[in-house]
Amino acid sequence: MSIKQFSREQITEGIRKYHVEPDQRIRLLFANEKLTADNFEQACALYAPLLGTRFDTVLVVERLGFSHDRLLPMISDSVLKTPLGEVPVNDVLRNEFCDEEDDFYIDDIGNHENMSIYDQLMLLQCIMPDLNVVSVQIAEERPSVIRELAYTITELLLERNVLVVLCSDISKCTPDDIDKIRQMVRNDEMSALMNFCNSGDSGMIGTGPFLAGILSAKNWELVYKVPD
């Protein structure tokens, strides 16, 4: 069952079960691409530290799912709608991304109701009353594109109060795959991590958002919180 079938009350109750002290230091979240009843508890635990925090904007990064010559499309909607209501899009920040690098385009090639951003919004709408968002999709997950995206995120958002949510699918990863990824992140083995993810051996679908997030965290010198 998709999270879109959950009520606001169910989601709010789920998040509150895991509530801890608000952590405004959070800059990046690595989320499951599709949120369902099977991973609902995990998603609630991930988002719970955001209760009580305030961000000016949330940037959601996900894979496009197919190749396209516009490498980093950004959907053109001014408002995104979920069963919990409407969320405005930050048009100013979206345009700044397009002005910053040539590979960012406002383009609806990947605009559809099953985008991961709609799943993430179901939780975000229960946490942040004044939410606005920006969407970026990755058409080509090759290293040069990922580095460009990470560079733009770190430079453009360095002094801004923006939360970045990176969406990937790890449902096909084995426990050994997850352990390898976890250890590489903890040990700061960036080359090995990129090679493992890009080889296809990791089982991860949507390695681009994940790697862009790891590179951004490294550029910002953030402390990783890697669950066991």
Q: What is the pLDDT of residues 9-21, one digit of tens each?
A: 999 999 999 988 8
For residue 227, what pLDDT band results from cuts at 50, 70 and 90? low
Q: Is residue 24 part of a domain?
A: yes
CATH code: domain of residue 52: 3.40.830.10
pLDDT tens-place string over residues 35-59: 999 999 999 999 999 999 999 999 9
Q: Is residue 213 part of a domain?
A: yes
pLDDT value for 226? 61
Is pLDDT at 228 greater than 60 in this prediction?
A: no
Is pLDDT at 200 greater than 90 in this prediction?
A: no
pLDDT value for 67? 77
Q: Is residue 224 part of a domain?
A: no
Q: Is residue 208 part of a domain?
A: yes
Number of domains present in the structure of the chain: 1
Mean pLDDT, range 192-219, rounded to an integer = 91
Q: Is residue 9 part of a domain?
A: yes
Residue range(s) defining the domain that contains residue 193: 3-219
Beta-carbon-side half-sphere exposure of residue 123 (alpha carbons within 13 Å): 31
Q: Is residue 225 part of a domain?
A: no
Q: Is residue 159 part of a domain?
A: yes
Average pLDDT, the chain: 93
Q: Is residue 30 part of a domain?
A: yes
